[in-house]
Copies of this chain bind each other. A is one copy, B any other.
């Protein structure tokens, strides 16, 4: 399945009312995100599925592919475009086997070794970071942009940069070979998520030389 990593919104519903959460996602879709990931670490299977169904109705309306974090069963149940696999989630090879070759399987990689392992197991893209400290994952380890560039070079897969990125600090990615940025707070916590998405998208276009 084709996908565009330019501006990848990873969601976080923590502390948000469901309707507010959904309206922020819809605003981000209007603002030009190109890919969407539902990431819910605390929800039970039933509540995760409920939310995935509601989010997919929105993203389908904008033809934006929806990926589900970790839970391949929920991705299958809502016919999502694919899954994103973190280092503590189901292995990439297992997700690929369960989903088949027509779905997107993305993987988190912090090192060239992890990137090559993910590629070997069938990953379609890599999420690399955290580039900057992030409030979403407080204990995360930072990844240098030089490592990101090495991963792009070695793994030969499209790479999205993640971790504390916003319109003011993403210049650091210029020339790294990245294919786009993934954000949580920069859109989900913005006072105007649509405008925040639009500004980020334009910024990434410039950095990518589009």
Cβ < 8 Å to B, chain A residues 5-43: none
Q: Which residues of B contact A76 (CB under 8 A)?
A: 72-73, 98
Q: Quote the shortest CB–CB distance from A76 to chain B (angstroms).
A: 6
Residue in B closest to A99 when the chains form the complex, CB atoms: B73
Copies of this chain assembled into the complex: 2
The count of chain A contact residues (Cβ–Cβ below 8 Å) is 22
The majority secondary structure among interface residues of chain A is helix
Q: Report A54-97 CB contacts with B as 1/0, cut-off 8 Å.
A: 00000000000000001111101100000000111111001101
| Interface 9-residue window, one of A44-52, A131-139, A159-167, A187-195 | A44-52
Q: Quote the shortest CB–CB distance from A28 to chain B (angstroms).
A: 26
Q: Which residues of B contact A74 (CB under 8 A)?
A: 90
If the complex has contacts A72-B73, A73-B71, A73-B73, are A94 and B47 also in contact, measured as CB distance less than 8 A? no
Residue in B closest to A69 when the chains form the complex, CB atoms: B45
Q: Please determine whether B98 and A45 come into contact, CB atoms closer than 8 angstroms.
A: no
